[in-house]
């Protein structure tokens, strides 16, 4: 069965996370992805361990998280022969993804204008930290953007800025890059040529702040950290029970009435302090104290069972391992096997009924496909001489 991007050739000149993860997503959807790496060194993340996925420490689980189903070719862009191969790849590809510092690829004849002149159909995706204008010279790192973009200021407890537990801005930017690339591929069918797609970490972060950004734009007041509490809903947070914490999501008055009854306080829904969501937010501290007193009478597991039976969104605060176990128990098949002796991978989040994601291959060893890629490009040149 064909996949959505069968026949699409992607040249992945990116490294670390946002670009490589975008390219891996395109590979899941059927694109052939050629990852260009520095000879003898490769992507920076090959050396970001432990954990290591090779006994000799030449590849890491970090690298493997964003580079499955690709072919790796080593090219030194300062070497004329290797640069010629890179030019040929750029001339043949449908999509080129890069996150080089501004101007770096231009010096090698691989900037957007040079590539588009030889390959008008190319969808050229550039990923930067702070855009290609005034922020072009600023170094773009996920941790830095979480700090300067405001995410740390609304994460964690008051008094101590806190980053997210994963490079969330890189992940969000990778998804924005994929959306832009797919839109440009679709537009190419209508307008007859490709275009330059630009995404940056700061804009992706700001675009993801949703209600927090809207709150600031509406009031002029920047929101602050509230731990696990929701700024606009209560109770919508983690609450302590006898042996741990339970996440409770109560989004309307009907749910609140059922929640109050389930924990043995049915009259709470008639208390004027808690009659509406606005009231509950205004009296959150008193409300939380009442609920935690009630929840202390039993275990997290017992409360989750009781609240779920009442049709209330509630769950135990678990580990990453618990998350995978839950997904498996729900039949979501969260992981896939990519080959004997290789670490399992997270299954693609896409479920497509007519063109499912069915093929996964192991992340490549550095330079594993040097000969294959050069042969392919040579053959394409002979078949389609310019």
* Residue positions annotated with a catalytic role: 170
Neighbouring residues of 109: CB distance < 8 A, sequence distance ≥ 6: 83, 87
The single residue listed with the structure tokens 């098949």 is 333
The single residue listed with the structure tokens 């890059």 is 177
For 35-87, give the DSSP string: EEE-TTT-SGGGG--SSBSSTTSS-BHHHHTT-TTEEEEE--TTSHHHHHHHH
Tokens of 10: 């992607």
Pairing of strands 95-98, 123-128: parallel
Tokens of 51: 């954990």
Tokens of 348: 């693609």
Q: How many CA atoms lie within 13 A of 153 on its CB side?
A: 16
CB 102 within 8 A of CB 128: yes
Tokens of 170: 């890189």
Terminal alpha carbon distance of the chain: 33
CA 365 to chain centre: 23
Contacts by residues 348-351 (CB-CB < 8 Å, ≥ 24 positions apart): 348/25, 348/28, 350/28, 350/29
Return d(Cα 286, Cα 195) in angstroms, integer. Answer: 56
Helix H or strand E segment including 185: helix 168-191
The single residue listed with the structure tokens 């993804």 is 97
The single residue listed with the structure tokens 């690339």 is 181
3-state secondary structure of 297: coil
Pairing of strands 335-336, 236-240: unpaired
The single residue listed with the structure tokens 């990453």 is 320
């Amino acid at each position: 069965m064909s996949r959505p991007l069968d026949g699409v050739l992607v040249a992945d000149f990116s490294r670390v996370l946002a670009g490589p993860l975008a390219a891996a997503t395109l590979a899941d959807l059927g694109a052939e992805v050629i990852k260009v790496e520095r000879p003898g060194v490769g992507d920076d993340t090959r050396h970001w361990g432990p954990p290591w996925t090779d006994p000799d420490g030449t590849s890491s689980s970090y690298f493997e998280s964003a580079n499955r189903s690709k072919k790796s070719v080593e090219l030194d862009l300062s070497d004329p022969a290797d640069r010629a191969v890179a030019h040929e790849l750029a001339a043949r590809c449908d999509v080129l993804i890069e996150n080089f510092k501004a101007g770096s690829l231009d010096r090698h004849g691989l900037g957007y204008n040079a590539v588009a002149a030889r390959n008008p159909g190319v969808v050229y995706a550039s990923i930067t930290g702070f855009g290609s204008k005034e922020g072009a010279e600023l170094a773009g790192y996920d941790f830095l953007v979480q700090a300067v973009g405001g995410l740390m200021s609304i994460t964690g407890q008051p008094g101590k800025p806190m980053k997210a537990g994963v490079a969330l801005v890189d992940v969000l930017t990778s998804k924005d890059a994929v959306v832009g690339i797919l839109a440009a591929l679709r537009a190419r069918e209508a307008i007859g040529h490709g275009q330059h797609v630009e995404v940056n970490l700061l804009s992706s972060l700001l675009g993801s702040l949703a209600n927090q950004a809207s709150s600031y734009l509406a009031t002029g007041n920047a929101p602050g950290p509230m731990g696990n509490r929701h700024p606009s809903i209560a109770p919508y947070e983690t609450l302590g029970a006898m042996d741990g914490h339970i996440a409770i999501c109560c989004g309307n008055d009907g749910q609140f009435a059922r929640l109050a009854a389930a924990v043995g306080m049915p009259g709470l829904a008639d208390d004027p302090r808690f009659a509406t969501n606005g009231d509950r937010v205004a009296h959150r501290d008193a409300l939380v104290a009442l609920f935690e007193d009630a929840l202390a009478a039993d275990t997290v597991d017992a409360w989750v069972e009781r609240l779920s039976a009442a049709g209330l969104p509630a769950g135990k605060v678990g580990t990453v391992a618990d998350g995978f176990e839950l997904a498996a128990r729900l039949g979501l098949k969260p992981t896939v096997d990519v080959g004997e002796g290789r670490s399992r991978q997270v299954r693609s989040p896409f479920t497509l009924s007519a063109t499912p994601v069915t093929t996964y291959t192991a992340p490549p060893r550095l330079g594993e496909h040097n000969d294959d890629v050069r042969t392919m490009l040579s053959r394409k040149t002979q078949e389609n001489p310019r």
